[in-house]
Amino acid sequence: MVAEESKALNYQHIQDIINNIPDLRLQAMIAAQYSLAARAGELIQYDHSNGITTQGLLKSNIEERDNLLVCTIPNFKNAKQPFKKPYITKDEPFLYKPFKKWLTVCGEQVFDLKIRRYRQLVTTILPQGYASHALRHSRATHLAEQFKFNAYEIKQFLGHASLDTSSIYVQQDLSRTANKIKKGVEWMNIETSIQAINFVMVIFFILILIITPIGIWINYKIKEASKWILDWS
């Protein structure tokens, strides 16, 4: 499997994956899990070990507001916050369009299949080594990187129990930004050094151009003086 810290897929890569899925249901599933930063068990009916069943995403729990599809879904890993309301926005048409289209043909249970089958289908679409949870991880990463969500906003969107968990994504983004700045400074230092060397070389050649004719002139005058002395003698 891919290492945990590298499981986030590139934002453009996510777009390419979703845009190239021919099956509408599978396209909508990938778009939904990524855009809502959901666990698989929050989209699909899930039977918990304690005997409780959560219904997953229901059509009746999706509300259209302005340019958003707000989805009320169970956050089954956080008992203190049993439901959350992430959304899909028209500003990301590669996510909004397939999901909206699927809502016109699906039943009340938006994705009516077994959790194991769901995970298998998602795995067939993602790059080798990536599981369905990579979509949630990728979305959290992009919320921090692309959309500049703060830790509290990420916590609300993903339904994290602790703000510390959400802060990891913000810290990762800050670390990446710091590394880019550091690399930029290093490159600037290299550029400055190259410019300094070029400047010295230019000055050197200018001095050569100035000194060479002067040297020739002095040499000529010395020869003339020598000749005059010899003639006078």
Q: Read off the pLDDT of residues 216-229 as tens digits, 9 standing for 90 and up.
A: 766 666 666 666 66
Contacts of 84 (CB under 8 A, 6+ apart): 72, 73, 75, 156, 157, 158, 159
Domain span holding position 132: 4-161
Instruction: Read off the tokens for 69.
Output: 């599809």
> What is residue 160's predicted lDDT score, i.e. its pLDDT?
81
Q: Can you give the pLDDT at residue 38? A: 92
Supply the pLDDT for residue 185: 43
Amino acid at 82: P
- 9 with 99, same domain? yes
Please report the pLDDT score of residue 16 as a whole number.
97
Q: How far apart are CA 139 and CA 146, in angstroms?
A: 10
pLDDT score of 4: 40
pLDDT for residue 75: 81
Domain boundary among 113, 131, 161: 161
Residues 121 and 219 in one domain: no
Cβ neighbours around 21 below 10 Å, total: 16
**Confidence at residue 60, expressed as pLDDT on a 0 to 100 scale:** 94
- Provide the token pair at 85: 């309301």
Out of 161, 190, 206, pick the residue that ends a domain.
161
- 130 Cβ contact list (under 8 Å, min separation 6): 2, 7, 9, 123
- 111 lies in the same domain as 209: no
- For 194, the 3-state DSSP assignment is helix
Per DSSP, 44 falls in state: S
Statement to judge: residues 126 and 182 lie in one domain: no
Shared-domain flag, residues 189 and 149: no
* Domain total of the chain: 2
Identify the domain boundary among 135, 161, 187.
161
Query: Do 186 and 151 reside in the same domain of the chain?
Result: no
Residue ranges of the chain whose pLDDT lies below 70: 1-6, 79-80, 172-200, 202, 204, 215, 217-233
**Which pLDDT belongs to residue 132?**
92
Whether residue 175 is found in the same domain as residue 216: yes
